[in-house]
Amino acid sequence: MGSNSFVRFQNVQKSYDGEVLVVKDLNLDIPKGEFLTMLGPSGSGKTTCLMMLAGFETATHGIISLNGNPINNIPPHKRGIGMVFQNYALFPHMTVSENLSFPLEVRGLTKTTREDKVQWALDMVQMSEFGNRRPAQLSGGQQQRIALARSLVFEPDLVLMDEPLGALDKQLREHMQYEIKHLHERLGVTVVYVTHDQSEALTMSDRVAVFNDGIIQQLATPPDLYERPKNAFVAQFIGENNKIFAEVIEIKNSIVSARTSRGNIIKGKKVNCGEIGSKTTLSIRPERINVGVKSENTSEAEILELIYIGDHIRCRMLVEGDQDFIVKVPNSSKVMNLKIGQKTKVSWLINDCRALDTLGE
Amino acid sequence: MLASQNNSNDEMLTNDGIPLKKKLAKSLFKSRLRAFGLVTPLLLLISLGFVFPILVFLTRGVYNDTFEKYMINLTPMLAEWDGKTEPTEEMFEALVLDLVALKKSKNIGKVASRMNRELSGSRSLFTSSARKAKKLEFPFKESLIQVKKKWGNLDTWRAMKVTSHSLTPVFLASALDMKYTADGTIVQKPEERRIHVRLFVRTLEISLIVVIAGLILGYPVAFLLASLPIRISNLLLILVLLPFWTSLLVRTTAWIAMLQGQGVLNDMFVVFGIATDEDRFTLIYNKAGTLISMTHILLPFMILPIYSVMKTISPSYVRAAKSMGATSWTAFWRIYFPQTIPGIGAGAILVFILAISFYITPALIGGQDGTMISNFIDYHMRKSLNWSLAAAMGGVLLVIVLFLYWIYDRVVGIDNMKLG
């Protein structure tokens, strides 16, 4: 385990006021070279974890180690961790080159080495002509690149990014996601990335740790996270998700049979539901539902709303008493038959239906 | 589309053919007029009650027509006189005529005291001669010299020649411890009569020390205020602002109670054995007292601009610096401190300009070596009534301040200043 783990959180707890735990018993191993994203709603403890790793917050309990050495008592400036901040934190009184040169200067590198490295970092983010500008003279996207270059210029093994793309518009954000991903692949640094944007997390990461309420709800690769959410929170937080509340009546070979409030029996994979007689949330992705055909699970449905997206039609339906049942119908000639108010059938496979907890409902 | 908006002169036109600039000015005119209307009362008050009187008064520093106005006959002759040859009989005659007229119109006192400032002792020369002028007969030269021997002295006539110029550098020269002579040269006054330059230097020195002391004391306070949670920092900010709610006079007298020989501070020193009861520190009626109380009184003006600048500096800058490997000190000195310079600049220039014209505190606490130039200006305004010299000194002070302001602009940059 030790050889495989570059960054390690062991039973880490954090409290600001001595009354509430912001981070509850965190255990996390990050191997070298991984792109790990901490994803979660605000207040879920993800930024606190990042700040503890950077050294700006101290862990109330537990050990954080880097490369096998505990770093709890090492001040931030001796940790050698690169960091990109939410608002970039480019020093306004220095030029771009001086900004990039700063981490090299405090390390006592010679002027020529510094110049070479600054040039290398600027080239890396395709900003070589902007060395003499001040941060205020750059656009948001350009500032973002400089912040990125500055966190990498001293060639740290670990780079932390705290919602670095939050201030950019959608198009630029998506572009920068790919750019950061490619930089990570090229340089092989370990990246710990914090975001509340699930599509960003899925696009960029090797693994995603979904945080809620100070606990990692699930730690998995993006496909796993989307296809196989472990609990109702993850299913709901990652991607779109239809929920049908039902009561477990039979569990056989990891297949749960559950009765809905309408008396319909729906079968799904057992993931995180209770014993017979307990409530469960049946979770089905909108794109895994077929309209107008029968299969392993079939329900009556009424079309309430049709929204034309382009590549697909978003169809809001009344299914099992749920008025917000969403089905994504691929845009094909068949779609033209759908009408608002039309009564039809929807169906899905047992494998696409996951029986989860009820999230306290 | 574009072509229709461009006429031959490449001027932008609106759709109805009126030049765009004209239309824009017209559409903005009303709001500009309204905005101007809002500031008009204040503008009038400032220009009529402040700027205009100051400008008028400043002209006194270089313009004084007392002599020219009353010595109607003599003045043109003095202008032609070369200042070296013996004054002619005509000049004496004109002088006597003027003296008679002055005696009659009771204006002799004005001219006499004006002359006395140029040449001490000439007040009685003028007044007593004027009394006898009516009875004087031809030849006026001999009879006038018989009344007062000084009339035969060339220096008297040279002083009159200097005074007869209404537009004159006399007062400016005097404000800088120099003398403007009849032959148009400016020479330094004798050593023992030079006081103004020393006072200007002392004023600048005291102001500079107050700025530096304020910076040393105020910067950490501002830093504390900016880094504490808002609830506590607001409370502390009230403490900083507290002195503003007390009159300047009260604060100054409070310092007298604190600093005097039998005062609170000295008593404490004696209790703690820092000073003996017989040999107490002299903290008041000298430069030290002026410095201590001025620093205290002006401290809020230093703290507030620095604080307001510090509050806008995001803590992520220092964090970023530390994450890049900078120690706390490097992060502060290289990253935090440079960003507070606009606040330091604003505070320093604010305190300096207030300090350079400080009056009440040095007047009450300054004693001999703690008085400043403003106290001297006040002396000439109210005691010696030499308003022209007061105006000249004020003018010199103004020029010094503007010059320093200009240097500040060159070094730091005025647009680099943030008051909040």
Which residues from chain A sit within 8 angstroms of residue B328, using beta carbons?
Answer: 77
In 3-state terms chain A splits into helix, strand, coil percentages (rounded to 5) of 30, 35, 35
Which residues from chain B sit within 8 angstroms of residue A54, using beta carbons?
Answer: 319, 323
- What is the C-alpha radius of gyration for chain A, rounded to an integer number of angstroms? 24
- Subunit contact B320:A89, Cβ cutoff 8 A: yes
Residues 331-350 (B) with a CB less than 8 A from some CB of A: 331, 334-335, 338-339
- In this complex, is the C-beta atom of A117 within 8 Å of any C-beta atom belonging to chain B? no
Q: Are A178 and A166 in contact (CB under 8 A)?
A: no
- Subunit contact B339:A93, Cβ cutoff 8 A: yes
> pLDDT tier at B262 (50, 70, 90 boundaries)?
confident
Query: What does the pLDDT average to over A40-57?
Result: 92
- Subunit contact B326:A91, Cβ cutoff 8 A: no
Q: Is the pLDDT of residue A239 over 90?
A: no
Q: What is the pLDDT of residue B9?
A: 54
> Residue B70 is encoded by which pair of tokens?
């009353």
CA-CA-CA-CA torsion for A224, A229, A234, A235, nearest 10 degrees? 120
- Subunit contact A85:B330, Cβ cutoff 8 A: no
- In this complex, is the C-beta atom of A103 within 8 Å of any C-beta atom belonging to chain B? yes
- Same domain, yes or no: B218 and B360: yes
> pLDDT tier at A336 (50, 70, 90 boundaries)?
low
| Domain boundaries, position B390 | 196-416
- Same domain, yes or no: B52 and B114: no
Q: What is the pLDDT of residue B416?
A: 67
Question: Strands A255-260 and A297-308: what pairing?
Answer: unpaired
> Tens digit of pLDDT for each residue in A190-208?
999 999 998 899 999 999 9
> Tens digit of pLDDT for each residue in B353-412?
999 989 889 999 888 888 899 999 999 999 988 899 999 999 999 999 899 888 888 877
Which residues from chain A sit within 8 angstroms of residue B340, using beta carbons?
Answer: none
> pLDDT tier at A2 (50, 70, 90 boundaries)?
very low
Complex-level ipTM: 0.82
Residues 6+ apart with CB under 8 A from B354: B298, B301
Q: Is the pLDDT of residue B218 over 90?
A: yes
Chain A interface test: which of B314, B316, B317, B324 (most A C-beta within 10 Å): B324
Q: Is the pLDDT of residue A1 over 50?
A: no
Residue owning tokens 């030269």? B141
- Extract the runs of DSSP E, i.e. beta strands, from B52-129: none
- In this complex, is the C-beta atom of B326 within 8 Å of any C-beta atom belonging to chain A? yes
- Same domain, yes or no: B268 and B131: no
- Same domain, yes or no: B14 and B116: no
**Bond preceding residue B300 cis, omega within 30 of 0:** no
Centre a 10 Å sphere on the Cβ of residue A139 and count the other Cβ atoms it contains: 10
Task: Give the burial string for B150-168 (b: 16+ CB within 10 Å, else e).
Answer: bbeeeebbbbbbbbbbeeb
- Same domain, yes or no: B54 and B201: no
User: Could you give the angle at the alpha carbon of B397 between the alpha carbons of B396 and B401, nearest 5°?
Assistant: 115
Claim: this prediction has a pTM higher than 0.90: no
> pLDDT tier at B7 (50, 70, 90 boundaries)?
very low
Count CB pairs under 8 A between chains A and B: 65
Give A82 to chain B, closest Cα distance, Å: 6
Cα B217 versus chain centre, distance: 26
The per-residue DSSP string of A251-316 comes to EETTEEEEEETTS-EEEEEESS--STTSEEEEEE-GGG-EES---SEEEEEEEEEEEE-SSEEEEE
Which of B32, B59, B86 is the C-terminal boundary of a domain? B59
Q: What is the pLDDT of residue B147?
A: 85
Q: What is the pLDDT of residue B417?
A: 67
Domain range annotation of chain A: 2-229, 242-282+296-356
One-letter amino acid identity for A166?
A: G
- Same domain, yes or no: B204 and B110: no
- Same domain, yes or no: B111 and B200: no
Percentage of residues in chain B having pLDDT higher than 70: 96
Reduce the DSSP state of residue B19 to 3 states and report it. Answer: strand
User: Among A64-73, A311-320, B21-30, which is the least confidently predicted range?
Assistant: B21-30
Give A137 to chain B, closest Cα distance, Å: 17
Query: What does the pLDDT average to over A266-279?
Result: 85
Task: Tell me how far apart the alpha carbons of residues A173 and B253 are, in angstroms, rounded to a whole number.
Answer: 64
> Residue A136 is encoded by which pair of tokens?
């205020």
Q: Are A306 and A272 in contact (CB under 8 A)?
A: no
Reduce the DSSP state of residue B139 to 3 states and report it. Answer: coil
- Subunit contact A89:B317, Cβ cutoff 8 A: yes
> Residue B261 is encoded by which pair of tokens?
């020989």
- In this complex, is the C-beta atom of A156 within 8 Å of any C-beta atom belonging to chain B? no
- In this complex, is the C-beta atom of A102 within 8 Å of any C-beta atom belonging to chain B? yes
Find, in chain A, the residue whose alpha carbon is nearest to that of B342: A93
Task: Tell me how far apart the alpha carbons of residues A227 and A208 are, in angstroms, rounded to a whole number.
Answer: 13
Q: Per the structure, how many domains does chain B have?
A: 3
- Same domain, yes or no: B221 and B350: yes
- In this complex, is the C-beta atom of B31 within 8 Å of any C-beta atom belonging to chain A? no
Which residues from chain A sit within 8 angstroms of residue B331, using beta carbons?
Answer: 77
Chain B interface test: which of A90, A106, A134 (most B C-beta within 10 Å): A106
Chain B interface test: which of A16, A79, A83, A94 (most B C-beta within 10 Å): A83
Q: What is the pLDDT of residue B261?
A: 85
- Same domain, yes or no: B20 and B158: no
Task: Tell me how far apart the alpha carbons of residues A150 and B140 are, in angstroms, rounded to a whole number.
Answer: 94
CA-CA-CA-CA torsion for B312, B314, B318, B324, nearest 10 degrees? -140
Give A77 to chain B, closest Cα distance, Å: 4
- Extract the runs of DSSP E, i.e. beta strands, from B137-204: 178-180, 186-188
Q: Are B347 and B301 in contact (CB under 8 A)?
A: yes
- In this complex, is the C-beta atom of A120 within 8 Å of any C-beta atom belonging to chain B? no
- In this complex, is the C-beta atom of B229 within 8 Å of any C-beta atom belonging to chain A? no
Residue owning tokens 């003018």? B395
Residues 6+ apart with CB under 8 A from B136: B96, B143, B144, B147
Query: What does the pLDDT average to over B167-172?
Result: 87
Q: Are B162 and B180 in contact (CB under 8 A)?
A: yes
Q: Are B343 and B418 in contact (CB under 8 A)?
A: yes
- Same domain, yes or no: B104 and B219: no
Q: Is the pLDDT of residue B5 over 60?
A: no
- Subunit contact B323:A107, Cβ cutoff 8 A: no
Q: In what side-by-side order are the strands of the sheet with A190-195?
A: A81-84, A158-162, A190-195, A35-39, A207-212, A215-220
Which of B40, B59, B78 is the C-terminal boundary of a domain? B59
Which residues from chain A sit within 8 angstroms of residue B327, using beta carbons?
Answer: 77, 106
Give A211 to chain B, closest Cα distance, Å: 24
Q: What is the CATH number of the domain that holds B231?
A: 1.10.3720.10
- Subunit contact B325:A77, Cβ cutoff 8 A: yes
> Residue A4 is encoded by which pair of tokens?
């495989």
Task: Tell me how far apart the alpha carbons of residues B395 and B59 are, in angstroms, rounded to a whole number.
Answer: 9
Which residues from chain A sit within 8 angstroms of residue B334, using beta carbons?
Answer: 102
Residues 220-239 (A) with a CB less than 8 A from some CB of B: none
- Subunit contact B319:A91, Cβ cutoff 8 A: no
Find, in chain B, the residue whose alpha carbon is nearest to that of A154: B324
> Residue B323: which of A81, A91, A107 has the nearest Cβ?
A81
> Tens digit of pLDDT for each residue in A205-224?
999 999 999 999 999 999 99
> Residue B317: which of A76, A91, A160 has the nearest Cβ?
A91
Which residues from chain B sit within 8 angstroms of residue A56, using beta carbons?
Answer: 319, 322
- Same domain, yes or no: B31 and B178: no
Mean pLDDT estimate for chain B: 87
Give A83 to chain B, closest Cα distance, Å: 6
Task: Tell me how far apart the alpha carbons of residues A195 and A238 are, in angstroms, rounded to a whole number.
Answer: 13
Sort residue A52 into left (φ over 0), alpha (ψ -120 to 50) or beta.
Answer: alpha
Which residues from chain A sit within 8 angstroms of residue B316, using beta carbons?
Answer: 85-87, 89
Which of B21, B42, B59 is the C-terminal boundary of a domain? B59
Q: Are B294 and B288 in contact (CB under 8 A)?
A: no
> pLDDT tier at A296 (50, 70, 90 boundaries)?
confident
- Extract the runs of DSSP E, i.e. beta strands, from chain A: 7-15, 21-30, 35-39, 61-66, 69-70, 81-84, 158-162, 190-195, 207-212, 215-220, 242-252, 255-260, 265-270, 279-284, 290-291, 297-308, 312-319, 322-330, 343-348, 353-356
> Which residue, B81, B79, B61, is CA-closest to B71?
B79
- Same domain, yes or no: B280 and B322: yes
In terms of CATH architecture, what is A2-229?
Answer: 3-Layer(aba) Sandwich (3.40)
- In this complex, is the C-beta atom of A108 within 8 Å of any C-beta atom belonging to chain B? no
Give A209 to chain B, closest Cα distance, Å: 23
Q: Look up residue B186 and give its DSSP letter.
A: E
